[in-house]
């Protein structure tokens, strides 16, 4: 993922063979972001809410609840830090920072919208989505 030509992070999708992109939220997978620069966790959480709105609508109450979750899940990061999100395909989402657990929730709608930032057709980064899904040409 690049912003104004600068690489912000490298993303990796860890999924089983036969992963179906159109059903991403109903399948187990891991999405890892390896950061190239320093970013504040609060900024990551706030940007995630904005990107989730591209995937689908949700209430302000949900936004506030999910923002609080992500502020816990995403600490400030520096170059070489890794954030990992695991989706079990049934609504359970777990987050890790450099291998250490940071937050967990059981919310299928959150899982669909959050991971949709990268995996849904509505993503703001279609080339990154294609690369993650092995569809890059």
Query: Can you tell me the mean pLDDT for 25-48?
Result: 96
Name the token pair of 82.
Answer: 């890794």
In sequence order, what are the residues at sequence separation of 6 or more whose Cβ sits closer than 8 angstroms to the Cβ of residue 61?
Answer: none
CATH of 2-16+23-132, one of 3.40.50.12280, 3.50.70.10, 3.40.50.300, 1.10.150.300: 3.50.70.10
Query: Can you tell me the mean pLDDT for 84-113?
Result: 98
- Quote the CA–CA distance of 122 and 100 in Å, as a whole number: 30
**Three-state SS for 37?**
coil
Q: Which residues pair with 104 in a beta bridge?
A: 94
Give 40 or 7, the one with higher predicted confidence.
Answer: 40
Q: Are 95 and 104 in contact (CB under 8 A)?
A: yes
- Quote the CA–CA distance of 17 and 2 in Å, as a whole number: 28
pLDDT at residue 40 is higher than 80: yes
Per the prediction, the chain carries an average pLDDT of 93
């Amino acid at each position: 993922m690049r912003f104004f030509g600068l690489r912000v992070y490298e993303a990796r999708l860890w999924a089983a063979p036969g992963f179906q992109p159109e059903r991403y939220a109903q399948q187990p997978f891991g999405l890892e972001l390896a950061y190239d620069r320093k970013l504040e966790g609060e900024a990551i959480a706030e940007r995630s809410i904005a990107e989730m709105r591209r995937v689908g609508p949700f209430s302000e109450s949900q936004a506030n609840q999910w923002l609080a979750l992500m502020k816990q899940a995403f600490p400030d990061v520096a170059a070489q830090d890794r954030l990992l999100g695991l989706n079990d395909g049934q609504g359970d989402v777990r987050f890790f920072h450099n291998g250490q657990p940071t937050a967990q929730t059981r919310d299928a709608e959150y899982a669909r919208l959050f991971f949709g930032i990268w995996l849904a057709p509505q993503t703001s980064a279609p080339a990154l989505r294609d690369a993650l899904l092995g569809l890059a040409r």
